[in-house]
């Protein structure tokens, strides 16, 4: 059992402190939005978590290709870590978006392209995890996982485009794409950027931990095999 590297320990502390600082900034520094009021505060976390989900999604797709080329199981652990983190953060982003949409658009859920695509992406991730669950051989699990990540990663942009087209031809009842019409003051933009930076740090920390966890799990597996033989 190797101890956590010094840099990771620093990141742990930094993540907690910066998250606290970001929360203070959102509630004390950023002004209250005139139209939507207090609920608009959720927007900062919503954008930041969606950002982390997006990074995880892109890393997963790139790493999947690297795995298929190199066949090094190390990349599979990274692929799984990226997918899991992306799954959780997109879920948080959808929940936060829902909390925001209720007062802003008058509904918890709307078939807005980004929202729908995020939901479908969640389904792809869940399918990915189910696929992995059904395979014992680690090498085959890694291969299938990588292939499915690539197929899913390519279908998501097309899904987004098709849903967008779907919406523009149909009448949009509830202000689709309303988020970018928000007029932000300088303080708001700063708060948003700080939040994105903070969540990026949190992402790196979690990512690192998850990869380490994957490595440990592999070690345990090998030790178990040694014991039984």
**Which residue's CB is nearer to other proteins, number 21 or number 69?**
69
State how far the Cα of 152 lies from the Cα of 157, in Å rounded to an integer: 9
Q: Which of residues 54-73 bind other proteins (CB under 8 A)?
A: 68
Q: Which long-range contacts (CB under 8 A, 24 or more apart) does 92-101 make?
A: 92/45, 92/49, 93/46, 93/49, 93/50, 93/53, 93/118, 94/118, 94/119, 94/122, 96/42, 96/45, 96/46, 96/49, 97/46, 97/50, 99/39, 99/42, 100/39, 100/40, 100/42, 100/43, 100/46
CB of 188 to other proteins, least distance (A): 35
CB of 113 to other proteins, least distance (A): 11
Q: Contact between 127 and other proteins (CB under 8 A)?
A: yes
Count residues contacting other proteins (CB under 8 A)?
31
**Which residue's CB is nearer to other proteins, number 68 or number 99?**
68
State how far the Cα of 81 lies from the Cα of 202, in Å rounded to an integer: 14
Q: Which of 36, 53, 154, 125 is nearest to 94 (CA)?
A: 53
**Which residue's CB is nearer to other proteins, number 137 or number 180?**
137
Give the x/- contact pattern for other proteins in 142-171, rule: CB under 8 A.
Answer: -xx-xxx-xxx-xx--xx-xxx-xx--x--
Among 6-14, 33-41, 98-106, 138-146, which window interacts with other proteins (CB under 8 A)?
138-146
State how far the Cα of 44 lies from the Cα of 42, in Å rounded to an integer: 6
H/E segment holding residue 156 = helix 138-169
Among 19-27, 38-46, 129-137, 213-221, which window interacts with other proteins (CB under 8 A)?
129-137
CB of 206 to other proteins, least distance (A): 24
CA 149 from centroid of its chain's CA atoms: 14
Q: Which of 159, 95, 147, 150 is nearest to 121 (CA)?
A: 159
Q: Contact between 130 and other proteins (CB under 8 A)?
A: yes
Q: Contact between 216 and other proteins (CB under 8 A)?
A: no
Q: Contact between 114 and other proteins (CB under 8 A)?
A: no
Question: Which residues of the shown chain bind other proteins in the complex (CB under 8 A)?
Answer: 68, 120, 123-124, 126-127, 130-131, 133-136, 140, 143-144, 146-148, 150-152, 154-155, 158-159, 161-163, 165-166, 169
């Amino acid at each position: 059992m190797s101890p956590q590297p010094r840099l990771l320990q620093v990141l742990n502390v930094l993540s907690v402190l910066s998250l606290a600082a970001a929360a203070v900034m959102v509630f004390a520094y950023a002004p209250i939005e005139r139209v939507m009021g207090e609920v608009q505060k959720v927007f900062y976390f919503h954008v930041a978590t969606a950002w982390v989900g997006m990074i995880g999604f892109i890393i997963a797709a790139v790493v999947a290709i690297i795995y298929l080329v190199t066949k090094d199981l190390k990349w599979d652990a990274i692929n799984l870590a990226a997918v899991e983190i992306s799954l959780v953060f997109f879920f948080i982003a959808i929940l936060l978006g829902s909390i925001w949409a209720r007062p802003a658009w008058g509904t918890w859920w709307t078939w807005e392209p980004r929202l729908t695509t995020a939901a479908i992406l969640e389904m792809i991730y869940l399918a990915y995890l189910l696929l992995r669950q059904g395979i014992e051989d680690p090498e085959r699990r890694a291969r299938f996982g990588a292939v499915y990540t690539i197929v899913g990663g390519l279908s998501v942009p097309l899904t987004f485009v098709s849903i967008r087209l779907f919406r523009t031809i149909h009448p949009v009842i509830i202000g689709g794409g309303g988020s970018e019409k928000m007029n932000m003051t300088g303080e708001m933009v700063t708060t948003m950027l700080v939040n994105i930076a903070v969540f990026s740090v949190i992402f790196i920390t979690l990512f690192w931990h998850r990869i380490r966890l994957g490595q440990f799990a592999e070690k345990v597996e090998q030790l178990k095999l040694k014991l039984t033989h």
